[in-house]
A = this chain, B = another copy of it.
Amino acid sequence: MSRLDSAIRRLQAQKAALEDAARRTAGLRGLVLEFGLGNGRTYDHLRTILSNRRIVVFDRQVAAHPDCIPPDEDLYLGDLFKTLPRAIAELGRSAVIAHLDIGTGNKDQSVALVTRAAPMIADLLASGAILVSDQPIESIAGLIPLPLPDGIADGRIHMLQRT
């Protein structure tokens, strides 16, 4: 498969998974967490499909399109392992969706980063919350894997739900 085909499928998987997570959590109160703002593409999608929810964004720095920069009060900027403990203290288990797109470009590094961060991110999830991740996530106590939406190939994206 060419990198163009792969990019299309990756973005389609993100879109389908985020929209599925939005539907599944529609009856819950809480906020949305975006880990990895990047160019702001999925942040823009989240604020479009979840316009009534607060979206809190984590990244090393802001490098997004000017139209896609969250308000200061919704940004945790800097090293994830410094901002996560602060977010846990400030926000608690208040998120109904967390989207992880924190790849570094290096597959092994990205998996290691997500493996280390995921248990802390799980501490921000309300009961019934859904975690969507581009990278695979090892089993975490209290989270169970979800089936992917129709038409999305296994491994293209990953979804887990807090029981």
Contacts and interface: CB of A to CB of B under 8 A. Distances in A.
Contacts of A42: 4
Interface residues of A, number: 21
Interface of A is mostly: helix
A23 interface: no
Interface string A65-79: 101100000000000
Interface of A: 2-5, 7-8, 11-12, 14-15, 39-42, 44-45, 48-49, 65, 67-68
12 contacts: A2-B41, A2-B44, A2-B45, A2-B49, A3-B40, A3-B68, A4-B11, A4-B41, A4-B44, A5-B15, A8-B12, A11-B11
